[in-house]
Amino acid sequence: MRIEVCCGSVEDALIAETCGADQIEFTTSMSLGGLTPSYGMFHLLKERTQIPAMVMVRPRESGYYYSQLEREVMLRDARYFVEHGAEGIVFGFLRADGRIDEEACKQMMEVIGPAQAVFHRAFDLVPDPYEALEQLIRLGFRRILTKGQKNTLEEGQALMDQLRVQAKGRIEFISGGVREHNLWWLKEIVKPEQVHIGAFTLQEDPTMSNHPQIFFGTEGKSAETHYQTVDRDKLQRIINILRA
Report pLDDT for 219: 64
The answer, yes or no, to whether residue 31 has pLDDT greater than 90, is no
Report pLDDT for 212: 72
Report pLDDT for 179: 92
Could you tell me which of 160, 148, 144, 92 has the C-alpha nearest to residue 122? 92
The answer, yes or no, to whether residue 136 has pLDDT greater than 80, is yes
Report pLDDT for 201: 93
CA distances for 151 relative to 44, 70, 83, 85, 239, angstroms: 33, 27, 34, 32, 22
Residue 216: phi and psi, rounded to 5, are -110, -10
Average model confidence (pLDDT) across the chain: 94
The answer, yes or no, to whether residue 221 has pLDDT greater than 60, is no
Which 3 state secondary structure label does DSSP give 183? helix
Residue type, 158: A
Close Cβ partners of 157 (under 8 Å, ≥ 6 residues apart) = 148, 190
Each residue of 82-129: pLDDT tens digit?
999 999 999 999 999 999 999 999 999 999 999 999 999 999 999 999
Close Cβ partners of 175 (under 8 Å, ≥ 6 residues apart) = 146, 147, 153, 160, 186, 190, 192, 194, 195, 196
Each residue of 47-93: pLDDT tens digit?
999 999 999 999 999 999 999 999 999 999 999 999 999 999 999 99
Is the pTM higher than 0.85? The answer reads yes
CA atoms within 13 A on the CB side of 45: 31
Could you tell me which of 173, 91, 160, 170 has the C-alpha nearest to residue 129? 160
d(CA 137, CA 186): 25
The answer, yes or no, to whether residue 243 has pLDDT greater than 90, is yes
Report pLDDT for 218: 66
